[in-house]
Structure 1
Amino acid sequence: MKKIAVFVGTRPEGIKMAPVIAALRQAPDLEPIVVSTGQHREMLQQVVDLFQITVDHDLAVMQPNQTLASLTARLMTRIDELLDRIEPDMALVQGDTTTVLVASLACFYRRIPIGHVEAGLRTGNIWSPFPEEVNRRLASPLVTLHFPPTEFGRANLLKEGVADKQIRVTGNTVIDALQMEVQRQQDPQIKAKIDQALAEEVGRDWDQVPYVLVTGHRRENFGQGFEQICDALADLADRFPDHRFIYPVHLNPQVQAPVQARLGDRRNIKLITPRDYRTFVALMSRCRLVLTDSGGVQEEAPGLGKPVLVMRDTTERPEGVEAGTVQLVGADRARIVEAASELLTDRASYDAMAEAVNPYGDGQAAERILDRIREHFAELVAGASNASP
């Protein structure tokens, strides 16, 4: 049995790795060893509980007010020490966090093969998103197996010199996770619990009033960007008094401060605490429109037929732009207001986005990843046999 170390650090990593971990748990020939670096401890724990993930090792790297450099240094030391103890046959990383960069480098130093889930995403701008664009670019040369979600990611990797045999387009595991959760929410007891939780924070009629769902937390929007986003939301709240604007506000003080100062007293803007994945899926499922600077939401919301306005100047997910499921509006007050207003008033514009085909997969990405991992180990055995005298 081959030991596969699966690294997760943040909530999005946990969500997107959950289907892979579940598939590994069911595989008779592969043994997952789940490693939490603890980059987003509280938010990751929500996902661990929801998907019933057993964390085998918790590195607990987070410290108050840490810099990216200090986080990177602690991660390298603790991941390297763990690899020395557990000696995995392969490691899996997901996305573009500091966990991905450091785990990939630590595994490279120990000659441990690395599989990169959601590989090949690029904006072409090292400062956007920051530091994720550089994290994923630096990790790619260290990776053995690349699992891009789409042909766009594959093309990026080929342009950077990655051999085609190292690449397997799989679709995005976030669609696997989304479909798993949507199915679970058909349970009346689960639905009742979700309704009760949101009724307490948003209002008992939370799903009876049309609403726009908002998320925002990107570093590159800190400062003036968040001020622009908040002012745009205030304008929209005035323009559409019959709508709610529900905003689960990230815990980072650089997000909390401008959001609370500019939007805290608005009647039809509901600033709520960050929601667990289950509740967030319910919010996405029943909203009219999503405003976000997140990455994963660009993939998830179209899977539920929801138009997405991306409050960033760039996206590493241009497939959605090309397919018509998302639109880039930047952290720009006027552009956000104009685009959202059109979608909320023009049925043809709304339907064009809501009915566009989601390009991010069919819910079978995890199984494709496991198939390629098995092929890799079979190739090693075949290579060793051919090399024997």
Structure 2
Amino acid sequence: MPEVHLVGGTCAEALRLAPVAAAMRAQGRLTPVLLAGGADPAAVARTFAAFGRPADVALPATDSRAAAVRRLDQLWAVRTPSAVLVRGDNLAAGLAAYWRRIPIMHLDAGRRSGSLRSDDRAEADRRLLTQVATVHLAATPQAAMNLLDERVVAGDVLLTGGTAVDATAALAARGTTPVSRTNPLVLVGVGAAADDAVGTAMRRLTAERPEVDVAAAAPLPYPDRTRVLSAAYLVLTDDPDLAEEALAAGTPVLVPGDGGGHAEALHAGGARTVEPVAEAILAAIRSLLESRLRRDVMVTAGSPYGDGLAAGRIAQATAALLGHGQFPEPMPARPLITTP
């Protein structure tokens, strides 16, 4: 069967690639090969292993794009896959595959923050990867529209949904013990721009409400992070990946800042923006703590990023690209439910 390489450069990428590999094995048309790379290949490999399948190839650790391209090129010179699956902004894998003339399936294509700041490398990498991808696998209707607006050929775009929902369900099915909590937990993961305001807000929150626990998301490995997300009362983050995973776990999200990169979650109601100042952040958290109903209604619509069937669609689309079967029907678009 054709060999397809799924390239994980971060743990977040590995979380989303692992369900696709499982779907490929279940469909029996392709041989998935899991590659663990990036700055911490061991952590990426552990994320793959959490789904019951270790990485097939571990690349040397590197945080240099040039080195990553070179090592992938060396691998693919002697073990050339029929296709490569990359997620998000993994431009190194995309470029290495493109130069080897290997078809590129771009998972989570079309996501845009609307920012082209010089320090927003991920956004630039996503846009550049669009230029070399063969098939663009969009997680949401908005992402698909972004691609069409950028003049990507409509026949090369497939609305599949995102696989964070698939991953959350797969980990639950493996019998991962849920986290049992008595106190409400606020899970925090923010960038430097909001760090001072969030830190001040969290100190004031724990001082006035000692029954509330606050934890940082950053040190948590998968699948522990998924388990804690499911147990959290709410998540405070400006990280689109963490927000997507929180909504997949049924936990609402507060986004300090302008909400760039969170458009779908904001429209669906599972996420809300808050001014990135301590008083505004504290007031928003108080509001949700004081009303469980107000908190729960935020996630009534579920995750806007997928329906739990994305991995199967992506596996089927990859097989169809290689001449095995038909392309799947796109994920049905559903009306957005907004909350007051």
TM-score by length of 1: 0.78
Alignment match, 1:88:
81
Alignment match, 1:278:
223
Alignment match, 1:228:
197
Counterpart of 1:76 (choices 69, 73, 88) is 69
| Cα distance, 1:178–1:350 mapped onto 2, change above 3 Å | same
The code of the aligned residue for 2:67 comes to: R
CA distance in 1, matches of 2:149, 2:183: 48
Alignment match, 1:302:
247
Aligned identity (percent) is 32
Which residues of structure 1 form unaligned runs of 5+?
196-205, 251-273, 382-389
The code of the aligned residue for 1:79 comes to: L
CA distance in 2, matches of 1:371, 1:301: 27
Question: Which stretch shifts more, 145-154 or 73-82?
Answer: 73-82
**Over residues 123-166 of structure 1, what are the superposed CA-to-partner deviations in whole Å (9 max), with x where a residue is unaligned?**
11023982211110110010000111111110000001111111
Alignment match, 2:211:
242
The code of the aligned residue for 2:308 comes to: G
Matches within 5 A, 1:182-331: 182-185=172-175, 190-191=176-177, 207-216=181-190, 221-222=191-192, 225-248=194-217, 250=218, 274-329=219-274, 331=276
Q: Does 2:121 match 1:131?
A: yes
- Displacement, 1:339? 1.4
Alignment match, 1:155:
145
Counterpart of 1:119 (choices 109, 127, 147) is 109
- Displacement, 1:343? 1.2
SS of structure 2 residue aligned to 1:7: strand
Alignment match, 1:343:
288
User: 2:137 touches 2:314 (CA, 8 Å); kept in 1?
Assistant: yes
User: 1:5 touches 1:88 (CA, 8 Å); kept in 2?
Assistant: yes
- Displacement, 1:101? 0.5
Larger Rg over CA atoms: 1
Q: Does 2:42 match 1:45?
A: no
User: 1:176 touches 1:366 (CA, 8 Å); kept in 2?
Assistant: yes
User: 1:310 touches 1:327 (CA, 8 Å); kept in 2?
Assistant: yes
Alignment match, 1:365:
310
| Cα distance, 1:51–1:347 mapped onto 2, change above 3 Å | closer
TM-score by length of 2: 0.88
Which residues of structure 2 form unaligned runs of 5+?
327-340
Alignment match, 1:109:
99
User: 1:38 touches 1:58 (CA, 8 Å); kept in 2?
Assistant: no
User: 2:161 touches 2:310 (CA, 8 Å); kept in 1?
Assistant: yes
The code of the aligned residue for 1:14 comes to: A
CA distance in 1, matches of 2:257, 2:4: 35
Question: Which stretch shifts more, 48-57 or 141-150?
Answer: 48-57
User: 2:116 touches 2:124 (CA, 8 Å); kept in 1?
Assistant: yes
SS of structure 1 residue aligned to 2:159: coil
Alignment match, 1:261:
none
Over the aligned positions, Cα root-mean-square deviation in angstroms equals 2.3
